[in-house]
A and B are shown apart, each in its own frame.
Chain A
Amino acid sequence: MRRLLYSQRLAPYLFILPFVATLALFWIIPVARSVVMSTQEVLYGQTTSVGLDNYARLWNDSVFWTAMFNSARYMVLSLALLIPIPMLLAAVVNSRIGSPRVKAFFKASLFVPALTSVVVAGLVFRLMFSESENAVMNQVLQLVGLGPVRWLREDLTGLVALLALAVWRWTGVNTMYFIAGMQSIPEEYYEAASLDGANKRQQFLRITVPNLRPTIVYVTTISVYGGLAMFLESFMLYGGNASPNNQGLTVVGYLYRRGIEQNDLGFASAVGIVLLVVVMAINITQLTLSGTFRKEHVR
């Protein structure tokens, strides 16, 4: 026992033991199980092997493709909004001009939405985007002379509400990421550039953006999985897993519907495996293209 406590050779294994156990019990076994279940039909505790039938059903299932389309659309649009906008805001906050007091207030106000739970955020947005003409968003439209919109009843306006929720909750956090990234760029780069006569816009595009690459890669990686695995935002916004023509149904929402609500575990597992493969494929491609693996390798 004494030897064990003092051994520098054994100690590291004891330190990482909780992680190894977690990895095995709560990640590797469940994923392996998911793979197995996806080739089975699981009904009332009876399992029958059905080969790749679940995947074939999936391929021919139009609701699955609707969910896939919704998730992909949401991921792409949230990336398109939640990287450039926070980057610009970070550049503004990080600039030398302006009052520090105003900037502190700005940062705190943008960060607060990230503190709200998805239940509360979804509820508030559901009620702001209510189809009643007195609800907040329709009042805003009225100011510019537009009629009341039945927000969550239509596909496109429902998407607007969902993206508004995402932008509201995550702009602040992403802005903080970019501010942190910008503060690690050496001031000399900018001094050299302004000596060479580069204007602010050129400096932003030629110095800030390229030097932010690690931050951009990180934010992209988490946004890809966050976007494709999005479920609760839509679930809370639409007040449940049902929405007109499944316009709010996401891949995880479909997994939840088939696996938990309808207890079709084999089929739901196939949905999960497909999603896992898609997320991994996109992120590995993205990390390879951005050269992140190469750099890690050299180090």
Chain B
Amino acid sequence: MTAAPARPRPASRRPSAADPAGRRRAPRGVRALSALQSTALVAIALVALVPLAAILVATFQSGADIMRGGITLAVDPATLRLDNWTMLFTDSGPYFRWFANSLGVTVVQVAGTLLVSSFVAYGFAMYDFRGRTPLFIAVLAIMAVPFEMVMLPLYVQVNEMGLADTYAVIVIPFLAAAVTIFFFRQYFLGVPKEILEAGRVDGVTEFGIFFRLVLPIARPAIAAMAILNGMMCWNNLLWPLLVLRSSEKFTLPIGLNTLITPYANNYGLLIVGSFFSLVPILVLFLAFQRFFVEGMTAGAVKG
């Protein structure tokens, strides 16, 4: 989409044939504009990275200093120490337990959501049945209603059923996820119907067609949704915060949240633990950037 700066523009996009001076000057103007644009973009990009750079630097400072003085850019290199990192890997209490919990919940939830949501989406995309339109409108409506609306009654319900403090309650309500259903439906609409017919002729069941013929060719959609759900799940705070009670079951965001106390002794671990919690997602992002962008902007796909 983007062209190298030196590439001449197609004739039709030149200002006007009747203005030879303008045409001659254009390349120099374009070069200057291009340099200006690059400078501005790099500057904005660097500003966007400041908070992450700031917390990285802060992991090498004493927690008490951070708590008192906030995060600072003017750091005396002589004061930087590895203490927090040493603590993280030798004496961080339940940190890695939380980390493992988050990892486990994320893997299970992502796998479950992909399976259930693609299953549902296939029904919406491939069949004509009574009630399809109102139900699909319900999918769209859920995309526009914040979860915060149902969080309180759901919380009451969970408590009454004695299901508080279980992972099942964190995972199950979100297996048929509206955005993920919507995205898979769009993808399945583009799958040629001949595949279904061929499967039927060969005596494959309707579900066999989905699992054995259609799902395997939906890999790009699966990748995008795996990333989106994985990220949301890894960072999920509100609902797990309401449901989980015991420290040994906490996921990483809740665990980190409990470290935010008025006592400076936790601050070193809080900072380094917060930074370390970004590592898995940053590594995934660098490896699969395209799928991240596709997944995050999934809702805007036009139907």
Contact = CB atoms under 8 A, between A and B. Distances in A.
Contacts of B270: 123
Contacts of B74: 134, 139
B88 interface: no
A3 to B, nearest CB: 10
Contacts of B5: 97-99
B162 interface: no
B124 to A, nearest CB: 7
A97 B144 contact: no
A23 B119 contact: no
Contacts of B33: 97
A158 interface: no
B287 interface: no
B78 interface: no
The dominant DSSP class at the B interface is: helix
Nearest to A269: B152
A231 B149 CA distance: 12
The dominant DSSP class at the A interface is: helix
A298 interface: no
Contacts of A181: 300
Given A22-B175, A120-B55, A168-B48, A272 B152 contact: yes
Given A12-B127, A22-B173, A27-B142, A276 B149 contact: yes
Interface in A149-194: 168, 171-173, 176-177, 180-181, 183-184, 190-191, 194
Contacts of A128: 51, 54, 70-71
Contacts of A265: 152, 156
B68 interface: yes
Contact of B260 (A22, A123, A130): A123
Most B CB contacts (10 A, CB to CB) among A97, A132, A191 go to: A97
Contacts of A118: 235, 237, 253
B152 A110 contact: no
Contacts of B52: 112-113, 116, 124
B205 A6 contact: yes
B154 interface: yes
Contacts of B247: none
Contact of A16 (B16, B69, B135, B142): B135
B70 A135 contact: yes
A18 interface: yes
Interface in A258-281: 259-260, 265, 268-269, 272, 275-276, 279-280
B300 A96 contact: no
A89 B12 CA distance: 25
A168 B51 contact: yes
Interface in A1-59: 5-9, 11-16, 18-23, 25-27, 29-31, 33-34, 37
A11 B237 CA distance: 36
Given A27-B142, A109-B49, A125-B51, A117 B237 contact: yes
Contact of B37 (A16, A92, A129, A218): A92
A66 interface: no
22 contacts: A5-B207, A7-B206, A8-B127, A16-B120, A18-B175, A98-B38, A98-B41, A99-B38, A106-B42, A109-B48, A111-B293, A117-B253, A127-B70, A180-B300, A214-B300, A222-B299, A226-B146, A252-B146, A260-B152, A269-B153, A276-B145, A279-B149
Interface of B: 1-5, 9, 12-13, 15-16, 30, 33-34, 37-38, 40-42, 44-46, 48-52, 54-55, 58, 66, 68-74, 116, 119-120, 122-124, 126-129, 132, 135, 138-139, 142-146, 148-150, 152-157, 173, 175-176, 181, 205-208, 210, 231, 234-235, 237-238, 242, 253, 256-257, 260, 270-271, 274-275, 277-278, 281-282, 285, 289, 292-293, 296-297, 299-300, 302
Given A119-B235, A128-B70, A231-B238, 7 more contacts: A12-B127, A19-B181, A94-B2, A118-B253, A191-B12, A194-B13, A279-B144
